[in-house]
């Protein structure tokens, strides 16, 4: 059908996007931040990161149950199985306080990303 030619037209776009990803991955220098979850609490509770730099956030869930890292303001949402580590990229951000929670245990799993 004619749709195949539409696909053909979109192919170059796909390659440009892939190229952009590759360049991006090579250039990026990210601020590393490690968080742990234990007994459904984040540690540290209020980590401090620099402004205007992308952050590579590693969350280590030391509980046996899964948790969902979630921040509405940051627009992030990611499940971390029990005992597992997950990486979440955030930012670059403007200075401010960005709250996050563990959605599955919101009563205790609270934290704030402090950007300075």
Partner 1 sequence: MFATSLIVFRETLEAALFIGIIAAATRGVARRSAWIAAGVLAGVLGALALAAGMERISAWADGVGQDLLNVAILSVALAMLAWHCVWVSTHGREMAQAARQIGQSAAQTDGALWALAVAVALTVLREGAETVLFVSGLLSGESTGLAALVGAVLSGLAAGVLVGLVMYLGLARVQARHLFSVTNALVLLLAGSLASQLAKALVQAGLLDWGSAPLWDGSSLLANESALGTFLHALMGYDASPSALQLGFYAGAIALVMLATRSVQRRAAVLAR
Residues that bind partner 1 in the complex, under the rule CB under 8 A: 1-3, 6, 10, 20-21, 24-25, 28, 30, 54, 56, 58, 64-68, 72-73, 75-76, 78-89, 91-94, 103-104, 106-107
Comparing CB distances to partner 1, the nearer of 70 and 111 is 70
How far apart CA 65 and CA 68 sit, in angstroms, is 10
Comparing CB distances to partner 1, the nearer of 88 and 111 is 88
What does the angle CA 63 – CA 68 – CA 74 come to, to the nearest 5 degrees? 130
How far apart CA 74 and CA 47 sit, in angstroms, is 15
The distance of closest approach from Cβ of residue 18 to partner 1 in the complex, given in angstroms and rounded to an integer, is 10
The distance of closest approach from Cβ of residue 110 to partner 1 in the complex, given in angstroms and rounded to an integer, is 14
Comparing CB distances to partner 1, the nearer of 20 and 48 is 20
The distance of closest approach from Cβ of residue 28 to partner 1 in the complex, given in angstroms and rounded to an integer, is 7
Among the listed residues 33, 6, 57, 38, the one whose alpha carbon sits nearest the alpha carbon of residue 109:
38
Give the N- to C-terminal CA distance of the chain in Å, as an integer. 55
The distance of closest approach from Cβ of residue 91 to partner 1 in the complex, given in angstroms and rounded to an integer, is 8
Strand order in the sheet with 31-38: 41-43, 31-38, 55-61, 85-90
């Amino acid at each position: 059908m004619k749709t195949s030619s539409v696909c053909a037209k979109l192919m170059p776009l796909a390659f440009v996007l892939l190229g952009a990803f590759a360049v991006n991955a090579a250039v990026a220098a990210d601020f590393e931040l490690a968080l742990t979850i234990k007994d459904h609490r984040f540690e540290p509770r209020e980590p401090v990161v620099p402004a205007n730099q992308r952050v590579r956030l590693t969350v280590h869930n030391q509980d046996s149950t899964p948790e969902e890292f979630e921040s509405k303001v940051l627009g992030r949402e990611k499940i971390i199985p029990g005992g597992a580590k997950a990486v979440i990229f955030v930012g670059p951000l403007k200075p401010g306080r960005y709250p996050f929670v563990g959605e599955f245990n919101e009563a205790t799993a609270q934290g704030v990303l402090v950007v300075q």
